């Protein structure tokens, strides 16, 4: 029984240790800079928060103000504003003032594309 259990645990790993240098070299050539890696990681961390993701998804096809987003998410205006600041800092959303109201939308088409690709993936 101990042997069967060990096989199940090792099923995702190699049975022997072999480094395939061509694959390692290719991965190194395609690797992104540490700065880009950190920024990309931070983007995914920020989008990993359900409230922020809900806000970004709401902005996918329409501009909304803080009051609209608070009504949609069930969060306070203050909480929505805080989340929008984080999203704006990473250039995921942008703002536009119209008189006394500030409207938010996705920063560019890449953000929508990122969301759409993620949705396609989970819906497969």
Place of tokens 């959303």: 93
Place of tokens 């250039």: 91
- Predicted model pTM: 0.80
Residue 19 backbone dihedrals phi, psi, to 5 degrees? -100, 120
For range 9-35, the mean pLDDT: 89
Asked if residue 7 has pLDDT above 70, the reply is no
For the chain, domains (ranges, CATH) are 2-123 (1.10.10.10)
Residue 43: which H helix or E strand, with range? helix 34-47
Taking every pair of Cα atoms in the chain, the longest distance, rounded to a whole number of angstroms, is 72
Asked if residue 8 has pLDDT above 90, the reply is no
| Model pLDDT, residue 4 | 44
CA Rg, the chain, in Å? Answer: 21
């Amino acid at each position: 029984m101990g042997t069967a259990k060990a096989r199940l645990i090792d099923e995702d790993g190699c049975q022997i240790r072999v480094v395939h240098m061509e694959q390692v070299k290719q991965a190194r050539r395609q690797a992104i800079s540490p700065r880009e890696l950190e920024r990309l990681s931070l983007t995914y961390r920020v989008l990993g928060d359900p409230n922020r993701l809900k806000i970004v998804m709401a902005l996918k096809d329409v501009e909304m103000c803080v009051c609209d987003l608070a009504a949609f998410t069930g969060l306070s205006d203050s909480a929505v504003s805080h989340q929008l600041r984080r999203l704006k800092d990473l250039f995921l959303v942008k703002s536009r003032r119209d008189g006394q109201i500030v409207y938010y939308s996705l920063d560019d088409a890449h953000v929508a594309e990122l969301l759409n690709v993620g949705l396609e993936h989970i819906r497969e």
